[in-house]
Structure 1
Amino acid sequence: MDVTLLGTGDTTGTPTPGCDCETCERAVERGVERSRFSVHVRNERTGESLLVDTSPDFRHQFLGHDVALPDAAVITHIHFDHLDGLGHAYRLLDHLPVHAADERDPETGESVAETVRRRYDYLDQVEVLAETPFEPFETCGFEVTLVPVDPPPLVCYGLAIEDPETGAKLSISGDTTYGIDAESRAVLADPDLLLADGIVTADLCEHHPAGGTHFDDDGVPRTFGTKHMTVEGAVALGDDLGAEETRVVHVSHFLDADRAFEAPLAVDGERYEL
């Protein structure tokens, strides 16, 4: 399993257009980027590629990294920074199976699969496949399981991707607070690599109207506001799940510039062989 982090940033990415903060300037100086979230997973046995989330930066990401166009995709939720690149399937791909959860979202009245199907019904290339959380499905030679996580108000899913031949396992937290329940954690547990949502460091919770929650024994918040983990929360989740390695993704440009590019914070283009 060959994993390439195509997009490791939040909604605006780093550097953020029009921003002259020190972190964005430091990113330009270093020649690094965090575009909107997307992960490319190559099955070296079958030669197929699975894309997790279709970033609006799809074209830029595939031009900038030596990876094949996807044979299938999984959508974790319907926020634009995870979905709106699906339009790039037009003229680039002959056929793209797109897997998404079939559970009804009480906020929208639709499942993720139904929303994707409705928004992209004009694309003949896109075939939406509704999947039931906790029930593994096969794609690109992998076994994939979607699990609910905790990012109110819209539903979102984390996922585990496993190679049944080699035993390699990639887990992705999805956009979530630290409050992932035990059943979902059990599916995500023991990965070779965990990609965990950590939007800012815990000290920045004081600037959010909702503050922070899910405090550890030292009083450090593992959730920022109501939708995302802190960096500390993402690292703690990796420890909880027994991850061999944790990389923090969905990172914003609000981090202190001196800490913004330190491990375990990921940047675009990182590759891992599992």
Structure 2
Amino acid sequence: MRVTLLGTGDTTGTPTVGCDCETCREARDRDVERTRFSVHVENERTGETLLIDASPDFRYQFLRDEVALPDAAVITHIHFDHLDGLGNVFRILRSLEVYAADETDPATGESVAETVADDYHYLDAVTVHPTTPLETVRICGLDVTLVPVDHPPLSCYGLTVEDPETGAKLALTGDTSYAIPDRSRRQLADPDLLLADAIVPASLCASHRAGGRHENADGVPRTFGTKHMTREGALELAAELEATETRLVHLAHFYPAEEAFEEPLAVDGEVYEL
């Protein structure tokens, strides 16, 4: 299973358009970037490929990293930076199987699957498969399980991708606070590679209008505001899940420049063989 990190940034990416902060300047100097979130998974045994979230930067990411177009996709939630890349299917793919949760979201009155089907009803290539969280489905020869996480006010999901022959396991937290339900934590546990939402360091919580929450025993916030984990929260989660390797993703350009490219913060284009 080959995993390519197509997009490791948050809603605006790094460098951010129109921004001349030290972190964005440093990214330009290093010639690295964090486009909007997306992950490409290739089943090397079958030659099939799975896309996890459809970034608005879809076209650029696929051209830049020269990966194969997807046979299927999983959409974790309906925020534009994870969904709107589906429009790139038009006149590029003849078919794309799209998997998304079938649970009704109280905030929208419909499931993620229903929203995807409604928003992209004009794309004949897209076939949406409503998928029950915590029930494993076989996609591209891999075992995929959606796991509920905490990203208010919308329903949001992380997931695991496991190779049924080799036992290799990829886990993604999805966009989430530290308050991931226990059942989801059990499903996410023991991955060979964990991709964990870590939007900013905990030190920036004081500047958020909602502050920080889910403090650890030392008073360090593990959630920034209400929706995303801090770097410290993500690393604590990785330790709890006993991840063999961890990469922090969905990163904002608000990281101080001297911290923004330290390990284990990911940048676009990283490739992992599991």
TM-score range, shorter chain: over 0.9
Deviations 1:29-85 (A, max 9, x none): 000000000000000000000000000000000000021000000000000000000
Task: Give the superposition deviation at 1:132.
Answer: 0.3
Question: How far apart are the structure 2 equivalents of 1:213 and 1:30?
Answer: 33
Residue type of the partner of 2:266? A
Aligned to 1:120: 120
Residue type of the partner of 1:53? D
- 2:214 match: secondary structure: strand
Gaps of 5+ in 1: none
**Superposition map of 1:81-230 within 5 A:** 81-230=81-230
Q: Aligned residues: percent identity?
A: 70
Residue type of the partner of 2:232? E
Task: Give the superposition deviation at 1:217.
Answer: 1.5
When normalised by structure 2's length, the TM-score is 0.99
Task: Give the superposition deviation at 1:219.
Answer: 1.1
Aligned to 1:262: 262
Kindly report the root-mean-square deviation, in angstroms, between the aligned alpha carbons of the 2 structures.
0.4
Aligned to 2:78: 78
Question: How far apart are the structure 2 equivalents of 1:236 and 1:53?
Answer: 25
Task: Give the superposition deviation at 1:186.
Answer: 0.6
Question: How far apart are the structure 1 equivalents of 2:174 and 2:253?
Answer: 19
- Count of aligned residue pairs for this structure pair: 274
Aligned to 1:65: 65
Residue type of the partner of 2:244? E
**Superposition map of 1:10-25 within 5 A:** 10-25=10-25
Residue type of the partner of 1:261? F
Higher mean alpha-carbon deviation, 49-58 vs 216-225, is at 216-225
1:33 aligns with 2:33: yes
Residue type of the partner of 1:213? R
- 1:128 match: secondary structure: strand
Question: How far apart are the structure 2 equivalents of 1:247 and 1:116?
Answer: 28
Residue type of the partner of 1:92? I
Residue type of the partner of 2:218? D
- 1:272 match: secondary structure: strand
Task: Give the superposition deviation at 1:218.
Answer: 1.3
When normalised by structure 1's length, the TM-score is 0.99
Aligned to 1:251: 251
Residue type of the partner of 2:85? G
- 2:232 match: secondary structure: helix
Question: How far apart are the structure 1 equivalents of 2:139 and 2:83?
Answer: 19
Question: How far apart are the structure 2 equivalents of 1:90 and 1:152?
Answer: 31
Residue type of the partner of 2:190? D
